[in-house]
């Protein structure tokens, strides 16, 4: 590497960690400010010997970490409470506990990124990529087995004779005069390299775009892949207000949806009758659905003795006179509409399944409170008690 005639620093090497600690102390005590120590491995107590102040890097980390936290919270507050408020699980719009993980992540992200970038730019002076200490004998030694001290020429107390004397009294094993490098060049800013970089960026991003957005969606047949439709939450220019999701037109019923007109009423009208006969098939369906949806509370045989007993407001038995006197329509109404703390099951159980459950509940009730005539029927073989 070419050097100028201008002195950059005077460097000395020492043989042991004790010597270098001693040297660092003496240099600092002599009043030099602009000096450095280079060792092949960290030497304990060096910061104190050099009288170094704590690094300023921590302030960068703290500032950016805190801004990350504030930014994340503000962002979530704005999106979740102002721009698009949605009720999620009955929580408040600004639900702090739910925002903690994201806030934490953004804090850590900004803190670490700013630390690395701060280190490279403010402390290492990126894009500077050369230092006059590079490629010197001194550097070779201190990156192998020697311990070095350099005093830079721009120190206000710099004097060749004094420093020579200081290093000699400290028993330096070698003293080296280091001259400035010739003007720094930045190979990363050379047009050739920049062009190469640009080409790599274009090829990788273009390739990724093509593969992810085109190649993966190149269907062999496009039958019905493209049609006029609006997905949930989408904008639509078809309507004047541009809302893709519409309220249903008054007086109409959505396809496959049978409205239940007695929602919210305590009793349904007497005319609400069971359209399904308790055939074997229908009872099988009712049993399956009863065991899935009702037994967790009312118990497998409707005795109100499920494991919920004592935890939830106790589910009542369905063998009470009250429940046995309910019309089919009333039980159907309770399943559909709910009753006090029992919620509506209209969303989980179809209309047909609900009537099947009613039939099955009737079977359970009759089994516990059989009539004398039932025994006659069994004896005559008209009812099969086994199933």
Please list every residue from 166 through 195 that binds ligand HEC, using CB under 6 A: none
The string of DSSP codes covering 319-355 is: -SHHHHHS-HHHHHHHHHH-BTTBPP-TTTS-HHHHH
- The piece of 128-136, 177-185, 210-218, 338-346 that touches ligand HEC (CB under 6 A) is 338-346
- Three-class secondary structure of residue 35 per DSSP: strand
Gap between the Cα atoms of 38 and 46, Å rounded? 10
Q: Determine which residue in the list 172, 318, 356, 364 makes contact with ligand HEC, applying CB under 6 A.
A: 318
* Near ligand HEC in 343-382, by CB under 6 A: 345, 357, 361
Decide: helix, strand or coil at residue 314: coil
Name the token pair of 275: 């359209």
DSSP at 2: -
Q: Which of 39, 290, 26 is nearest to 163 (CA)?
A: 26
Nearer to ligand HEC, 91 or 307 (CB): 307
Least distance (Å) from ligand HEC to the CB of residue 290? 6
Looking at residue 292, the DSSP 8-state letter turns out to be I
Single out the segment in contact with ligand HEC by CB under 6 A; choices: 75-83, 213-221, 248-256, 339-347.
Answer: 339-347
Cβ-proximal residues to 16 (8 Å cutoff; 6+ apart), any chain:
147
Show the binding pattern over residues 270-299: x = contacts ligand HEC (CB under 6 A), - = does not. -----------------------xx-xxx-
* C-beta closer to ligand HEC: residue 47 or 352: 352
247: which DSSP letter?
P
**103: part of which helix (H) or strand (E)?**
helix 96-118
The residue range among 109-117, 119-127, 328-336, 376-384 that interacts with ligand HEC, by the rule CB under 6 A, is 328-336
Residue span binding ligand HEC (CB under 6 A) among the ranges 168-176, 215-223, 249-257, 335-343: 335-343
By beta-carbon proximity to ligand HEC, the closer residue of 180 and 324 is: 324
CB of 348 to ligand HEC, least distance (A): 8
- Is residue 334 part of the contact set for ligand HEC (CB under 6 A)? yes
């Amino acid at each position: 590497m070419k050097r100028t005639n201008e002195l950059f620093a005077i460097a000395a090497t020492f043989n042991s960690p004790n010597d270098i600690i001693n040297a660092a102390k003496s240099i600092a005590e002599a009043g030099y400010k602009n000096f450095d120590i280079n060792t092949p491995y960290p030497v304990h107590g060096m910061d104190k010997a050099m009288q170094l102040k704590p690094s300023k890097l921590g302030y960068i980390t703290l500032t950016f970490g805190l801004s990350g936290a504030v930014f994340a919270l503000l962002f979530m507050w704005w999106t979740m409470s102002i721009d698009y408020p949605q009720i999620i699980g009955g929580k408040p719009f600004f639900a702090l506990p739910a925002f903690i993980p994201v806030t934490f992540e953004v804090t850590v992200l900004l803190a670490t990124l700013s630390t690395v970038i701060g280190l490279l730019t403010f402390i290492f002076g990126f894009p500077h990529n050369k230092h006059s200490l590079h490629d010197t004998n001194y550097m070779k030694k201190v990156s192998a087995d020697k311990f070095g001290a350099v005093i830079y020429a721009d120190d206000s107390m710099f004097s060749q004779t004094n420093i020579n004397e200081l290093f000699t009294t400290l028993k330096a094993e070698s003293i080296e005069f280091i001259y400035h490098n010739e003007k720094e060049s930045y190979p990363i800013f050379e047009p050739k390299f920049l062009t190469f970089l640009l080409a790599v960026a274009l090829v990788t991003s273009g390739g990724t775009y093509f593969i992810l957005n085109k190649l993966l969606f190149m269907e062999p047949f496009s039958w019905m892949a493209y049609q006029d439709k609006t997905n949930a939450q989408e904008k639509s220019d078809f309507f004047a207000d541009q809302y893709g999701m519409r309220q249903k037109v008054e007086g109409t019923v959505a396809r496959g949806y049978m409205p239940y007109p007695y929602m919210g009423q305590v009793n349904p009208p007497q005319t609400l009758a069971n359209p399904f006969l308790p055939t074997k098939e229908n009872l099988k369906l009712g049993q399956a659905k009863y065991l899935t949806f009702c037994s967790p509370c009312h118990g497998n045989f409707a005795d109100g003795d499920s494991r919920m007993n004592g935890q939830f407001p106790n589910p009542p038995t369905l063998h009470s006179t009250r429940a046995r006197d309910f019309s089919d329509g009333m039980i159907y109404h309770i399943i559909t509409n709910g009753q006090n703390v029992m919620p509506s099951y209209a969303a989980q159980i179809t209309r047909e399944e609900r009537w099947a459950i009613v039939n099955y509940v009737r079977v359970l009730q009759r089994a516990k409170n059989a009539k004398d005539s039932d025994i006659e029927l069994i004896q005559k073989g008209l009812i099969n008690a086994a199933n």
